[in-house]
């Protein structure tokens, strides 16, 4: 076989292996998600575990989401004012800050911050349980690991993320408001009126729907990579990294698809 043909064959073979590996991983993830959702309608349920995960995923994530939204709103107001000044359009600052926060920056940045905090935590926790054979012990005790470990975390993330994003939206708009009246010499009443006049229900609803989808994705990826973690500390570390990376990529990709669907 000529050398050029051998190189081409090896190149095509590597592409084929990568494609098959991607299809295999996608299929495993889809089956994992389908099995998780199927447990929603089948008892038993574990409300205590669900409540605990609501506290850990939702309440404890509030400080990081709030601080992110606050500084993002303030920086957005400064940037829009600087850009609008070139066209004598400084008055658009309140409306653009409100629309940008509720439609895009609130859910996306909130999702990414919670993914960094929650996906890694879930993957590390479940991965450690896999390494120490606690998941096998649950099966031995006739407790379905998917129902006891995965479903409460996914459901808690889906429920808590819209609440987190709604609070983050308020804080982000407040951050823009504070910068507007303190640094950019806006009148407080005019700023609030412009915000309310231009903000529409679809802007808020679209962001909350995105937040629920992002919550599902970030919790699912944490559970999936933790559940299929390799053995040893290295396997748990790899699962944690893969959970955050894959959750972040899926959040950004799904954000585009949802924006296309809404607008």
pLDDT 10s digits, 76-118: 999 999 888 787 777 888 999 999 999 999 999 999 999 999 9
- Tokens 């303190």, residue located: 182
Helix/strand/coil for 199:
coil
CA distance 233 to 237: 6
Backbone angles phi, psi at 184, to 5 degrees: -110, 5
Neighbours of 12 (CB within 10 A): 10
- Domains of the chain, by residue range, sit at 47-262
Residues 239 and 226 sit within 8 Å (Cβ to Cβ):
yes
Residue 241 has pLDDT above 80, yes or no: yes
Of the candidates 149, 140, 143, 151, which has an alpha carbon nearest to the alpha carbon of residue 41? 151
Q: How far is CA 128 from the centre of its chain?
A: 23
Residues 154 and 49 sit within 8 Å (Cβ to Cβ):
no
CA distance 217 to 215: 5
Residue 161 has pLDDT above 60, yes or no: yes
CA distance 53 to 126: 13
CA distance 163 to 106: 11
pLDDT 10s digits, 137-153: 888 888 888 999 999 99
Residues 176 and 101 sit within 8 Å (Cβ to Cβ):
yes
Of the candidates 219, 226, 107, which has an alpha carbon nearest to the alpha carbon of residue 157? 219
Per-residue H/E/C for 53-72: HHHHHHHHHHHHHHHHHHHH
Residue count of the chain: 263
- What are the angstrom distances between the C-alpha of 7 and each of 1, 10, 15, 16, 21? 10, 5, 12, 14, 21
Residue 197 has pLDDT above 80, yes or no: yes
Neighbours of 9 (CB within 10 A): 11
Average pLDDT over residues 184-208: 90
Cis, bond preceding 194 (omega within 30 deg of 0): no
Average pLDDT over residues 241-263: 94
Helix/strand/coil for 245:
helix
pLDDT of the residue at 75: 94
**Cβ within 8 Å of residue 211, ≥6 positions away:** 106, 107, 110, 111, 161, 162, 164, 165, 166
Confidence of residue 26 (pLDDT cuts 50, 70, 90): confident
- And the tokens for 223? 């559970």
Overall pTM surpassing 0.85 (yes/no): yes
Residue 1 has pLDDT above 60, yes or no: no
């Amino acid at each position: 076989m000529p050398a050029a043909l051998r190189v081409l064959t090896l190149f095509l073979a590597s592409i084929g292996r990568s494609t098959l590996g991607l299809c295999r991983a996608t299929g495993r993830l889809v089956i994992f998600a389908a099995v998780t959702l199927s447990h929603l309608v089948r008892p038993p349920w574990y409300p205590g575990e669900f409540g605990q995960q609501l506290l850990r995923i939702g309440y404890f994530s509030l400080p990081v989401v709030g601080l992110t939204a606050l500084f993002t709103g303030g920086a957005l107001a400064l940037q829009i004012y600087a850009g609008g000044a070139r066209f004598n359009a400084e008055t658009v600052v309140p409306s653009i800050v409100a629309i940008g926060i509720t439609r895009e920056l609130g859910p996306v940045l909130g999702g990414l911050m919670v993914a960094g905090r929650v996906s890694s935590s879930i993957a590390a926790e479940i991965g450690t349980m896999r390494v120490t054979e606690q998941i096998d012990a649950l099966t031995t005790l006739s407790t379905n690991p998917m129902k006891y470990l995965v479903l409460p975390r996914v459901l808690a993330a889906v429920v808590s993320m819209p609440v987190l994003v709604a609070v983050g939206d308020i804080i982000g708009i407040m951050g823009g408001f504070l910068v507007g009246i303190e640094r950019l010499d806006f009148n407080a009443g005019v700023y609030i009126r412009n915000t309310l006049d231009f903000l529409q229900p679809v802007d808020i609803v679209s962001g909350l729907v995105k937040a629920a989808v992002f919550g599902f994705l970030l919790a699912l990826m944490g559970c999936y990579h933790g559940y299929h973690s390799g053995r040893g500390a290295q396997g748990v570390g790899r699962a944690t990294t893969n959970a955050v990376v894959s959750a972040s990529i899926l959040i950004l990709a799904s954000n585009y698809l949802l924006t296309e669907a809404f607008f």
